[in-house]
Structure 1
Amino acid sequence: MDDQDSKLGKGQPCADERLDSGLDSLREDECSSLAADTERLSIGSTKLYRNEMRSEMGDEPWKRDRSDDGDTFLHLAIIHEAADYAVKMIKQSVNDPFLNIQNYQRQSALHLAVITEQPQIVDHLLKAGCDPQLVDNQGNTALHIACKRGSLSCFSVLTQSCPVELPTLMSAKNYSGLNCIHLACIHGFFSLVESLIQLGADINAREHCNGRSALHLAVDLQNQELVRLLISLGADVNSLTYGGYSPYHLTHGRQNTDIQRQLYELTAHDLRELPESESEDSDDDPMSEDEEMYDDILLVAQQ
């Protein structure tokens, strides 16, 4: 990780969310047709088929129709950043199940609004009754995605608009076992880490794979600035993984001796010796997209 980015609390944007469902779905002439049809809110297309939500959606065909990738016209408007048309459809769908339809990647309109960095659409969706707890095919809520991509604007809208759901959203783990603070740490977004903790996120929460806390992850990434930040915010230096390893144990064999010295001084005396247990790394389980990225960073840090 670049030192300058670390000091500024910034990381590289995560560009692995897919918008395949709509990016190439419309030609230029079709976009013009979509705009005209959306204006009338009476849209039809031979390339679209009707889904099973007819009884819930009423008689508006634009609410029932889906693309070959499972996208609604609202999804397509968000993907193509046609904000005016998206807002019109949202206003026509307040507290309507239509807002929570998910495409075949299980992305809702809210997921797509965060991925495309449209905080104003996020705000409209939440005020209209969109469910912030829906997860995509990787188990990520919209807040997970905001933390993974470092989207401060979308993060602010989500956290301010969902006070009731916020504790659940911050503690929820995706299918890789990572919650929001883990993702913010892995991707190097310091300001989001601080904000999550200020909002009540558990700084010592452990990911499901090996039981690492945010501090363990920071040590594995050899990110000294992040280690210092987490310690200053109250991270438990004596937290143990499922295999009985403290953050200090993970400094062995690593290049950054400053991290090792800092943690040695803070770690309880009886936790300074390495436990006698098998390696925590497992070659048997397939790695998820997040774990592959994390493993790549870890390998670079070890070189």
Structure 2
Amino acid sequence: MSEARKGPDEADENRYDSGIESLRSLRSLPEPAALAPGPSDGGGPQSWTPPRGGAEGPEEKEDADGERADSTYGSSSITGPLPLLGDLETEDPAPCSPLVPTGALNAQQLEALTYISEEGDTLVHLAVIHEAQAMLLYCLAVLPQEVLDIQNNLYQTALHLAVHLDQPRAVQALVLKGASRVLQDLHGDTALHMACQRQHLACARCLLEGRPEPGRAQPHSLDLQLQNWQGLACLHIATLQRNRPLMELLLHNGADIDAQEGTSGKTALHLAVETQERSLVQFLLRAGARVDARMLNGCTPLHLAAGRGLSSISSTLCEAGADSLLRNVEDETPQDLAEDPLALLPFDDLKISGKPLLCAD
């Protein structure tokens, strides 16, 4: 959990190893076999060289929500004209049918394809930002896989931006070409975290169910328990968003229903209680959530429900077998916290003055 508490500006090799710096390694990449010298090349093969001044950008620009304010939606901050890359199709081709470049690429075209803007965006980022599907597929067809995982000044990959802008076809194409699904942005969010936050179900499905094509294997598998810098895994975010379809999708693909978030140790069931939605609590209990899961302070979901006066949720938890006598680190039981302690008694045959005691629902 030490990683969950790291600030965005702290040095961490795990966060930066596939970032902007990765462009500098393009000089050592072998040229694709399909690339032959063009008529203006002078006959010799051209090396991969990043454009001057592209590796370092200005200070990061954010809006009030911490999201991109400049390049995500608006300007691409291109500092010079890009050479033509050949005739691209005007209609969006299908993601599974990438556009194959015709003819050889000269040095000028290779430089354009490895261009980086002032915000750290590559041409792949810009194709997603401007919803240029044909250009995106062209880049995916000719660029090495390492370029797809270059992160901009906010540590967002093109896959982050495709999810942010709710472009499932672009997400599908990037995953097919092996784009990493585990890289984290400035807030520690993977593309899947972002899909859960923005409730983009189609993008989440592409991320979870998509597989790279042969020869595009990913070095790291998708970790559904990975936490962002707030300590939240994807299931925690989907629960706080009260999005049952997303929760079902995550659980179906192997998310741990009892995983604890990194700040106080709450499980999805604790968070569901805090949303005060009884149907969400019932859904998690039916899915197998541990009813007496404990937070770091020893509180169970019933402690939270009783302390908040949520009688109907408390009743649901008791019916599922919650123990109303468990004590937290402050030696309190859920009965101690309840407004009506009798409502949480684990007996259904109590009588007062000869009359049965009815528990409130």
Match of 1:185 among 231, 239, 249: 239
Give the Cα separation in 2 of the matches to 1:80 and 1:62: 16
- 1:129-208 counterparts in 2 under 5 A? 129-162=178-211, 168-208=222-262
Aligned to 1:296: none
Counterpart contact for 1:167–1:201, Cα < 8 Å: no
Counterpart contact for 1:113–1:122, Cα < 8 Å: yes
- Counterpart residue identity of residue 72, structure 1: T
Counterpart contact for 1:39–1:85, Cα < 8 Å: no
Q: How far apart are residue 151 of structure 1 and its match? A: 1.3
1:26-79 Cα deviation digits (max 9, x unpaired):
59xx8xx76x845579xxxxxxxxxxxxxxxx9411233211111112211211
- Counterpart residue identity of residue 182, structure 2: Q
Aligned to 1:46: none
Task: State the secondary structure of the residue aligned to 1:123.
Answer: helix
Give the Cα separation in 2 of the matches to 1:258 and 1:145: 32
Structure 1 residue 245 and structure 2 residue 295: aligned? Answer: no
Task: Looking at secondary structure, tell me which structure has more helix per residue.
Answer: 1
**Unaligned stretches of 5+ residues in structure 2:** 1-63, 89-105, 213-217, 333-361
- 1:27-106 counterparts in 2 under 5 A? 37=84, 39=86, 59=107, 60-93=110-143, 95-106=144-155
**Unaligned stretches of 5+ residues in structure 1:** 1-14, 42-57, 279-303
Q: Identity, % of aligned pairs? A: 36
1:190-230 Cα deviation digits (max 9, x unpaired):
01111211222110000000000000011112121111110
Greater C-alpha Rg? 2
Which protein, 1 or 2, shows the higher relative CO under an 8 Å CA cutoff with sep ≥ 6? Answer: 1
Counterpart contact for 2:235–2:268, Cα < 8 Å: yes
Q: Label 1:194 to 1:166 Cα distance change in 2 as closer, same or farther (>3 A).
A: farther
Q: Label 1:61 to 1:24 Cα distance change in 2 as closer, same or farther (>3 A).
A: same
- Counterpart residue identity of residue 160, structure 2: H
Give the Cα separation in 1 of the matches to 2:323 and 2:315: 13
1:129-184 Cα deviation digits (max 9, x unpaired):
21111111111111111122211211111111249889742111111111110011
Q: How far apart are residue 98 of structure 1 and its match? A: 1.1
Deviates more, 1:261-270 or 1:244-253: 261-270
Structure 1 residue 115 and structure 2 residue 170: aligned? Answer: no
What number of residue pairs does the alignment pair up? 242
Aligned to 2:289: 235
Give the Cα separation in 1 of the matches to 2:278 and 2:291: 14
Aligned to 2:315: 261
Aligned to 1:291: none
Task: State the secondary structure of the residue aligned to 1:107.
Answer: coil
Aligned to 2:175: 126
Q: Label 1:100 to 1:277 Cα distance change in 2 as closer, same or farther (>3 A).
A: farther
Aligned to 1:218: 272
Counterpart contact for 2:181–2:222, Cα < 8 Å: no
